[in-house]
């Protein structure tokens, strides 16, 4: 009960800050929109390649872009922690009887809300340019859910790294270094069975790929609910581990000051 | 109310912040940790408020061990850190409301407590404004209000008036005195302003390089020093000359040269000044001014730490740079 109330308070604080600067949601969505529209146009003929089983490329690409935006949007979440630490706000929270897990989970809640809004914008845009999703609203909802889950994992990792390093430059470096390779080493942009063998092998261990597979299966193609369930399960386990990591990072921080 | 014994802490970069620090604070009193930057004051506060941990030694706050009973300690204390702890993107009211919720104060009790604090700290009119837009003095007042939300038994103030203008400082001093007097709060404050410790604290310890070098009431510490301090400002210095010129004079002790300022302790300042000036001028050192002062905490610090307060502050600034 206390845990929930404290998480709620932390989330409220970050969400309030977000709502006071809603332009940020718009700015951070520019990149995924460019990917969706330009990539979609550039590789339109991909759908003609023998072995491509999706419908049109834009239908195939949309879940990939949603997953990608979740990773890149969540990656920056740790910046707020770095600001809070430098400012002294975090120290005040840490000397209060707050449940430690609430610090990460509250921030994750804000990140998930942002990702859900951004996903809906991207999906609406792709519908506008002609994409159609077989499983309708339910399928799209599962896509947004898996993207949010993936975002929660990366937001937690970002928070943990932020608390451990406490340097904006380091976090920027790590996010830029990690995000794109993870997207490319997955089926976010290209059909699984058209990927080179080694990438297909690596992708099996890539959480971005889990989310892309689950989200796409649920929305774009005819859903394989077994696959959706296992991938969602993997993501849930990873979320648990990354949330523990982010919360434990505060112990390391407190030992170092 | 606070018992600290033999606290030790060395940071990973090898800096020894605390080297066997011990002191005790009685219930309902204002206690000051006085020392230059880098003396270990903030480290002590971090350990006592459960933010950081000591490598060795023991500390109890409100009868509770700060490591074993960390959570209960957190409920009994209020902390106003050196850096502002407020959320600049929230309004004054939102800041206080969140703080109240974290201590389990909700509903009508929350509204009542928040309104009361906004009133008391003159923030009622600004309650709906984003804290980022507050003046420095208002932010500090909000910060102190945040530290009081849970009606703490022990309040920690880490350099509470650093960066405040004289008016805001006087206002805060007044509030701190009121808290100890009317609410029987035990207050531990750190400061590197001598006059702040002198004005507020009933007892103080002087901390230097992670150790207590002197302890007592400001008056007792000052009265330990007999005589006066004479301070002679020279027009110019030639290395070492000034000290050499006066060293042979009788009755002079604790002679130091700090830039162009020569300081010494004498039994009777008025009687010593003429011979001091004569000796200096005979060696061709022209005197710009001479003053006599009753002992201050500055002198107490000099006597116990072996260097002047200004020197110690400047020295740590060099190390940090």
Residue B313 in any domain: the answer is no
Is the alpha carbon torsion for B49, B55, B60, B65 positive or negative? Answer: positive
Residue B306 in any domain: the answer is no
**Interface test mutation site (partner A, options B15, B62, B80, B87, max chain A beta carbons within 10 A):** B87
Q: Which residue of B has its CA nearest to A16?
A: B90
Residue B312 in any domain: the answer is no
Closest C-alpha among A84, A207, A57 to residue A146: A207
**Residue-wise DSSP of B87-118:** -TTSBHHHHHHHHHHHTT--HHHHHHHHHHHH
Same domain? B73 vs B158: yes
Bridge-partner residues for B154, per DSSP? B77, B186
ipTM for the whole complex: 0.90
Same domain? B209 vs B242: no
Tell me which of B178, B193, B222 is where a domain ends.
B222
Average pLDDT over residues A202-211: 95
pLDDT of residue B313: 67
Residue B212 in any domain: the answer is yes
Average pLDDT across chain B, whole number: 87
Same domain? B243 vs B272: yes
Average pLDDT over residues A19-40: 87
Decide which of B223 and B71 is more confident.
Answer: B71
Same domain? B125 vs B231: no
Residue B47 in any domain: the answer is yes
Average pLDDT over residues A23-32: 85
Taking the complete model, does pTM exceed 0.90, yes or no?
no
Same domain? B196 vs B281: no
Is the alpha carbon torsion for B255, B261, B267, B272 positive or negative? Answer: positive
pLDDT of residue B320: 37
Q: Are B78 and B62 in contact (CB under 8 A)?
A: no
C-alpha to C-alpha distance for B120 and A51, rounded to whole angstroms: 73
pLDDT of residue B318: 40
Same domain? B121 vs B257: no
Q: How far is the alpha carbon of B284 from chain A, nearest alpha carbon, in Å?
A: 52
Tell me which of B192, B222, B252 is where a domain ends.
B222
pLDDT at residue B321 is higher than 70: no
Range of the domain at B286: 226-294
Q: Are B131 and B86 in contact (CB under 8 A)?
A: yes
Instruction: Give the HSE-up count for residue A83: Cα atoms under 13 Å, Cβ half-sphere.
Output: 10
Q: Are B287 and B234 in contact (CB under 8 A)?
A: yes
Q: How far is CA B103 from CA A39, B281, B304, in A?
A: 51, 67, 42
The conformation of residue B130, written as its DSSP 8-state character, comes to: B
Q: Are B85 and B143 in contact (CB under 8 A)?
A: yes
Average pLDDT over residues B32-50: 91
Residue B31 in any domain: the answer is yes
- Termini Cα distance of chain A: 31
Residue B303 in any domain: the answer is no
Cα Rg for chain B, rounded, in angstroms? 23
pLDDT at residue B316 is higher than 90: no
Rounded to the nearest angstrom, the gap between the alpha carbon of residue A102 and the centroid of all alpha carbons in its chain is: 19
Closest C-alpha among B125, B119, A81 to residue B133: B125
- Termini Cα distance of chain B: 37
Report the CATH number at residue B286: 3.30.70.100
pLDDT of residue B36: 81
C-alpha to C-alpha distance for B243 and B255, rounded to whole angstroms: 7
Residue window 17-36, chain A: list those with CB within 8 Å of chain B.
Answer: 17, 20
Residue A95 to residue B83, Cβ atoms within 8 A: no
Residue B77 in any domain: the answer is yes
Residue window 190-249, chain A: list those with CB within 8 Å of chain B.
Answer: none
pLDDT of residue B237: 72
C-alpha to C-alpha distance for B21 and A256, rounded to whole angstroms: 19
Bridge-partner residues for B205, per DSSP? B33, B215
Residue B101 to residue A93, Cβ atoms within 8 A: no
Q: In what order do the strands lie in the sheet with B228-234?
A: B253-258, B261-266, B228-234, B287-293
Closest C-alpha among A201, A104, A200, A197 to residue A155: A104
Same domain? B180 vs B288: no
Same domain? B43 vs B73: yes
pLDDT of residue B29: 93
pLDDT by residue (tens digit) across A50-90? 878 767 889 899 999 999 999 999 999 999 999 999 999 99
pLDDT of residue B317: 42
Report the CATH number at residue B162: 3.40.50.300
C-alpha to C-alpha distance for A15 and A223, rounded to whole angstroms: 33
pLDDT at residue B319 is higher than 60: no
Decide which of A247 and B196 is more confident.
Answer: A247
**Residue-wise DSSP of B240-293:** THHHHHHTTSTT-EEEEEETTEEEEEES-HHHHHHHHHHHHHHTT--EEEEEEE
Average pLDDT over residues B286-292: 86
Same domain? B43 vs B162: yes
C-alpha to C-alpha distance for B51 and B45, rounded to whole angstroms: 8
C-alpha to C-alpha distance for A146 and A236, rounded to whole angstroms: 10
Q: Are B66 and B110 in contact (CB under 8 A)?
A: no
pLDDT of residue B259: 80
**A1 has a chain B CB within 8 A of its CB:** no
φ/ψ of B28, rounded to 5, equals 75, 15
| Domain limits, chain A | 2-256
Domain count, chain B: 2
Same domain? B184 vs B265: no
Q: How far is the alpha carbon of A95 from chain B, nearest alpha carbon, in Å?
A: 6
pLDDT by residue (tens digit) across B220-247? 887 776 778 888 888 877 666 777 788 7
Closest C-alpha among A186, A167, A153 to residue A75: A153
Label residue A101 by pLDDT band (50, 70, 90). very high
**A257 has a chain B CB within 8 A of its CB:** yes
B194-213: b or e for each residue (b if 16 or more CB lie within 10 Å)? bebbbbbbbbbbbbbbbbbb
pLDDT of residue A54: 67
pLDDT by residue (tens digit) across A153-182? 999 999 999 999 999 999 999 999 999 899
Q: Are A182 and A71 in contact (CB under 8 A)?
A: yes
Q: Which residue of A has its CA nearest to B149?
A: A96
């Amino acid at each position: 009960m206390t845990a929930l109330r404290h998480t709620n308070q932390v989330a409220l604080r970050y969400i309030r800050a977000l709502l006071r600067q809603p332009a940020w949601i718009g700015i951070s969505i520019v990149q995924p929109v460019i990917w969706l529209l330009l990539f979609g146009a550039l590789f339109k003929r991909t759908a003609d390649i023998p072995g491509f089983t999706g419908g049109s490329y834009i239908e195939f690409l949309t879940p990939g872009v949603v997953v990608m935006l979740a990773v890149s949007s969540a990656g920056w979440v740790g910046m707020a922690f770095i600001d809070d630490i430098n400012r002294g706000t975090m120290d005040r929270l840490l000397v209060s009887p707050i449940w430690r897990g609430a610090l990460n989970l509250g921030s994750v809640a804000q990140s998930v809300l942002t990702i859900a809004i951004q996903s809906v914008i991207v999906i609406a845009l792709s519908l506008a340019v002609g994409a159609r999703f077989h499983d309708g609203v339910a399928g799209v909802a599962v896509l947004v859910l898996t993207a949010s889950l993936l975002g929660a994992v990366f937001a937690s990792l970002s928070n943990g790294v932020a608390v451990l390093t406490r340097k904006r430059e380091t976090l920027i470096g790590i996010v830029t270094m990690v995000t794109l390779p993870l997207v490319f080493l997955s089926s976010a942009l290209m059909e699984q069975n058209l990927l080179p063998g080694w990438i297909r092998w690596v992708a099996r261990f890539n959480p971005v790929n889990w989310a892309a597979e689950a989200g796409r299966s649920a929305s774009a193609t005819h859903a394989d609910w077994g696959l959706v369930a296992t991938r969602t399960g993997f993501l849930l386990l990873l979320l648990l581990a990354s949330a523990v990591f982010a919360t434990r990072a505060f112990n390391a921080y407190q030992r170092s000051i | 109310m606070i018992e600290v014994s033999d606290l030790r802490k060395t940071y990973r970069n090898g800096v020894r912040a605390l080297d066997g620090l011990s002191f005790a604070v009685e219930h309902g009193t204002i206690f000051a940790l006085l020392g230059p930057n880098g003396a270990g004051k903030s480290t002590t506060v971090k350990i006592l408020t459960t933010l950081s941990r000591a490598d060795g030694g023991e500390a109890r706050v409100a009868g509770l061990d700060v490591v074993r009973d960390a959570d209960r300690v957190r409920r009994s204390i209020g902390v106003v850190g050196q850096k502002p702890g407020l959320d600049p993107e929230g309004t004054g009211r939102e800041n206080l409301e969140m703080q109240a919720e974290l201590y389990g104060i909700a509903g009508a009790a929350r509204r009542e407590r928040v309104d009361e604090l906004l009133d008391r700290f003159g923030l009622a009119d600004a309650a709906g404004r984003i804290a980022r837009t507050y003046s420095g003095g208002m932010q500090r007042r909000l910060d102190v209000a945040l530290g009081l939300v849970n009606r703490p038994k022990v309040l920690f103030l880490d350099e509470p008036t650093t960066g405040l203008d004289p008016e805001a400082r006087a206002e805060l001093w007044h509030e701190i005195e009121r808290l100890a007097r009317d609410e029987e709060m035990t207050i531990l404050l750190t400061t590197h302003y001598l006059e702040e410790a002198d004005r507020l604290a009933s007892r103080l310890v002087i901390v230097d390089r992670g150790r207590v070098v002197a302890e007592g009431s400001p008056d007792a510490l000052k009265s330990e020093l007999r005589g006066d301090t004479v301070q002679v400002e020279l027009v110019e210095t030639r290395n070492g000359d000034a000290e050499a010129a006066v060293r042979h004079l009788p009755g002079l002790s604790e002679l130091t040269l700090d830039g162009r300022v020569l300081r010494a302790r004498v039994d009777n300042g008025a009687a010593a000044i003429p011979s001091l000036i004569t000796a200096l001028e005979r060696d061709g050192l022209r005197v710009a001014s001479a003053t006599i002062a009753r002992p201050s905490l500055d002198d107490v610090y000099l006597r116990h730490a072996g260097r002047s307060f200004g020197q110690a502050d400047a020295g740590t600034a060099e190390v940090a740079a």
